Amino acid sequence: MSAAVVPPVGARIRQARLERGMSLRALAREVGVSASLVSQIETGKSQPSVSTLYAITTVLGISVESLFDARASSPMAGVNPPGTVPHALAADPGRRIGPLVGAGERETLELDSGVVWERLGRVPGADVDFLLVTYRPGGSSSGSGCLMRHTGNEYGYLTSGELILTLGFDEYTVRPGDAVCFESTTPHRYRNDGEVPAVGVWFVSGDVQ
């Protein structure tokens, strides 16, 4: 059974941007990427990397987890004023993710730089990302090599393959059975230098302020 369909990420980003009255160039400037890249992401011609996706959602005041959800009828649902804590966009009330999510029911996001996210479940109102993450050979959370940072705490457990985690000024080799945990505000980056996919379960909490 194929994975569940996830609405286009670019369309969600564009909707949130317009609801905030922000121009495409202004969003690009805040994120630190070109306006053409943002345009390609919004139109579905390009997928964001993990780092770019976190940067965009931070600027727009929405959560990464919300990108999986169908929008509520209210056009302003889930959009927060500048400087506030991101919250998940309201999910379609006719749709439920959990308490059991079968292997063929996981919603999947294909990101740039060889990264795939599969949502393992959700609890309404909880600002968390509960994901099965795959880094294909050569995959990285940042195509440019830059480190990323975002709010919350991050927990990961690698089940297969191998990942290199750069955390601040340190570098760690994460192997099957290894677990990582750290504050997501610490600059970090994952990459797979191996020849097989690296797969693990990741749990990223929301803002902890």
Q: What is the full per-residue pLDDT of the chain (209 aa) written as tens digits?
A: 455 555 688 988 999 999 999 999 999 999 999 999 999 999 988 999 999 999 999 999 888 887 876 443 333 333 343 333 333 333 343 445 668 888 888 888 899 989 999 999 888 778 888 999 999 999 999 988 899 998 889 999 999 999 999 999 999 999 999 999 999 999 999 999 999 999 999 999 875 43
Nearest alpha-carbon partner for 200 in 167, 161, 154, 146: 161
Could you write out the three-class secondary structure of 122-177?
A: CCCCCCEEEEEEEECCCCECCCCCCCECCCCEEEEEEEECCEEEEECCEEEEECCC
Residue 68: the pLDDT is: 76
- Which helix (H) or strand (E) covers residue 12, if one does? helix 9-19
pTM (two decimals): 0.79
Number of H helices, E strands in the chain: 4, 9
Q: What is the pLDDT of residue 65?
A: 80
